[in-house]
Amino acid sequence: MPVKGWIEVNDLYCKGCELCITACPVDVIQLDYSRLTPKGYHPAMLKSDGCTGCGICAVICPDAAITVYREPKKAKVPTA
Amino acid sequence: MATLTTDPIQVYKRPVGLTEVHSHYCPGCTHGISHRLIAEVLDEMGLREKTIGVAPVGCSVFAYKYLNTDYVEAAHGRAPAMATGIKRVRPENIVYTYQGDGDLASIGMAEIMHAAGRGENITVIFINNAIYGMTGGQMAPTTLPGMKTTSSPKGRDVEMAGFPIKMSEILATMQGSSYIVRRSLHDPAYIRKSKKAIRKAFETQVRGMGFSLVELLSTCPTNWKVTPYEALQFVEDSMIPVFPLGDFKVHPEIAKLKV
Amino acid sequence: MTKKLLKGNHALAEAAVRAGCEGFFGYPITPSTEFLEYMSSRMPELGRAFVQAESEVAAINMVYGAACAGKRTMTASSSPGVSLMMEGLSYIAGTEVPAVLVNVMRGGPGLGNIAPSQGDYNQMVKGGGHGDYFPIVIAPASVQESIDYTMLAFDLADKYRTLVYVIVDGNIGQMMEPAEMPPMREIPTEAPDWAVTGAEGRDPIALSSIYIDPYDEEVTNLRLLKKKLEIEKNEVIFKEFFMEDAEIVIIGFGTAGRISLSAVREAREQGIKVGLIRPITLFPFPFERIAEAAEQAKSFLVVEMNTGMMLDDIQVAVKGKIPVEFYGRLGGVTPFPDEILSEINRINENPPTDPNLDARADWVKRLEKAIEGSN
């Protein structure tokens, strides 16, 4: 099972420049054409499952708009 | 067997070193990346509350609004002189300038050369995007031969307008320089290398080892008249051949450093 | 304290040190160079900052940086060097940080010469750099005054967060006179709350002269103007001599004022009712005292080492009430006391009556004759 991750894009900062889209190694980001940020941009969003939380989108993002999360590995707890 | 879920791991979040302000930079402009890297490095080194930045004139004139440290705003090209004044009376502070190519390599040539010559214990982040952004895309001292700008509409003619100036190569010849490198912001792997370089530049200053400068090849999608992604490709295909990446001067003590 | 024989430039420099100057940034230029030389040994000896900059442009921007860092700081230069500093001075004014400039004026325009002059009056007093701002300008006339007013310059710079210019000419920079040096002041340990010191435990401070919204710039310009009005109310300094019954009043600053005093003393010995007003602050200008004197006197004689730059301000104060005459030497020529004495005699024998007299045109004829005669 690949690691499961996700991103949150902050509307205050995102300018829809698409650099995260071009950088994403698993091609799971697109612009959200259904809405605009307060500054009038279509912000980036996850378009499908498959994000691994690798953080490359955050590295290329010129506006530090992306927070990247990864689901922790499930810890096995011995049953009593 | 039961599973226990814990809180999600935050892989990346906006650094404290950046203010919570929407920047005026155009979409896709890599100024934002270099700002972020500086903020991350200062956060990681625990220097944010000791740092005084010196903003230039140019697109990054408002750098002081975005970086969460004390800041002053210099006259065009004079940031290294202003930084000198600050550092000499407050040697306990970390002082850095943030300068574009017009600021540093044209109008501020004297100030940058002499700051390096004196071995001034400051750090310089030099943004080279081969164009004047703020004034609307005029030829810069770093504009590539043949590159079209609003003041070289048929492309920079080296017969008339000379050749791009390679600041890192020049500054590496100064005895007062301890760390002079060129990096690029056109790709995530290169951005990571840029961050390491910025870290080493500040480490140079922390150790009192004299002048440090990181030249960052950057983009200007708006004035290059390309998309942000095409701009990154232009850096790779056209700028790097003229401005090769590399370490031009690294003090042995800094070379040893693992960051 | 006892008096010692001190050279003008050295005395100015030591006074700055004793006033608590923690950063000196300069560039060599005659006739102010001894200032820089003195600081090059004195400042490091005290553990304070000294940089011989690559240019006056860099020097003033180093001052700008040190001023933003909340330290007492200064530069010293001479006319062509000060012209180069105008950019930085305007930024310092716009950022409202305190800084002191000593200008040891020489003959100009252009490269001019290295002889004493007062030709920078307009540049110094009327701003010089771009934009609306009002530096305080102090013009000492002796080594002792240079010391005293350099100390004051730092205090006023801090008090109003403004530029203060101490302007002397090459005579005062180069002369040796007995003078008394005040004791060394203690350096404050706390930085002012507006200074950049690193945002430790507080919100970051940004110091800038940029107000991109014109309405913000307007508010800033208004604040600077109100500061100007406050300074005009509080900080006027001048000296006057033999004014009680003076019918002819000489007005001159710096060296011209000092030389005029010798002429006035001689004229008094001859029984001529002549007095002297010597403005010490050129901004704020002693308009009020000059206007008052115009009520009492029959005529004024303005003496300067320029083409009559302060003359314009005097005429504003006099408002055409009495005739104002002018005597100036130009281009680095210092007038002798007997030249001024003969002007006093001329006025005493043929008192001018026309309050609308064109002082400058009249004087040009006399000066041309004098230059011809001396050749």
Residue B76 — φ and ψ, nearest 5°? -55, 115
Domains C4-234 and C240-374 share a fold: yes
DSSP strand pairing (B2-4 vs B9-12)? unpaired
Mean pLDDT value across residues A32-60:
96
pLDDT for position C101? 98
Distance from CA of A71 to the nearest CA of B (A): 5
Alpha-carbon span B105 to B175, nearest angstrom = 19
User: Could A74 and B5 be called an inter-chain contact, meaning their C-beta atoms sit closer than 8 Å?
Assistant: yes
State how far residue B134 is from chain C, nearest Cα, in angstroms: 13
Residues of C in contact with B94 (CB under 8 A): 198
Which among B51, B70, B75 has CB closest to C61?
Answer: B75
Phi, psi (rounded to 5 degrees) for B206: -60, -35
Residue of C nearest to B114 (CA): C54
Of all residues in chain A, the percent with pLDDT exceeding 90 is 85
Chains B and A touch (3+ CB pairs under 8 A): yes
**C131 residue type, one letter:** G
Position C7 scores a pLDDT of: 95
Q: In this predicted structure, what is the pLDDT of residue A75?
A: 58
CATH fold of C4-234 reads Rossmann fold (3.40.50)
CA distance C210 to chain B (A): 8
Contact C65 B61 (CB under 8 A): no
Instruction: Collect all residues of chain B within an 8 Å Cβ-Cβ radius of residue A12.
Output: 20, 22
Contact at CB, B9 and A53, closer than 8 angstroms: yes
> How does pLDDT run along chain B (259 residues), one tens digit per residue?
455 557 899 999 999 999 999 999 999 999 999 999 999 999 999 999 999 999 999 999 999 999 999 999 999 999 999 999 999 999 999 999 999 999 999 999 999 999 999 999 999 999 999 999 999 999 999 999 999 999 999 999 999 999 999 999 999 999 999 999 999 999 999 999 999 999 999 999 999 999 999 999 999 999 999 999 999 999 999 999 999 999 999 999 999 999 8
pLDDT at A76: 58
Instruction: With beta carbons under 8 A apart, name residues in chain A contacting B3.
Output: 74-77
Q: Is the dihedral of CA C283, C20, C144, C106 positive or negative?
A: negative
Please say whether the beta carbons of C162 and C227 come within 8 A.
yes
- B147 DSSP assignment: -
* Interface present between A and C (3 or more CB pairs within 8 Å): no
Domains and CATH numbers, chain A: 5-70 (3.30.70.20)
Contact A77 B4 (CB under 8 A): yes
Cα C225 to chain center, whole Å? 20
> For residue C370, what pLDDT band results from cuts at 50, 70 and 90?
confident
Per-position DSSP letters for C171-216, written without gaps between them: HHHH-EEEE-PPPPPPPPSSPPTTS-S--TTS---EE-S---SHHH
Q: What is the pLDDT of residues C57-112, one digit of tens each?
A: 999 999 999 999 999 999 999 999 999 999 999 999 999 999 999 999 999 999 99
Task: Report all structural domains of chain B as residue ranges with CATH numbers, in order of start.
Answer: 31-255 (3.40.50.970)
Q: What is the ipTM of this complex?
A: 0.96
Q: Does B43 touch chain A (CB under 8 A)?
A: no
Q: Does B17 touch chain A (CB under 8 A)?
A: no
Helices (H), B18-108: 31-45, 63-66, 79-89, 101-102
- pLDDT of C167-191, one tens digit each? 999 999 999 999 999 999 999 999 9
Cβ–Cβ gap A12/B192 under 8 Å: no
Per-domain boundaries in chain C: 4-234, 240-374
CA-based max dimension of chain B:
78
The fold of the C240-374 domain, in CATH, is Rossmann fold (3.40.50)
Return d(Cα C35, Cα C370) in angstroms, integer: 35
Taking a contact as any Cβ pair under 8 Å apart, which residues of chain A between 23 and 52 contact chain B?
A: 23, 39, 41
Give the per-residue pLDDT at C285: 98
Q: What is the pLDDT of residue A3?
A: 80
Considering only the beta carbons, identify the residue of B61, B73, B75 that sits closest to C87. Answer: B75
Output the average pLDDT for chain C: 97
Closest residue in B to C62 (Cα) is B85
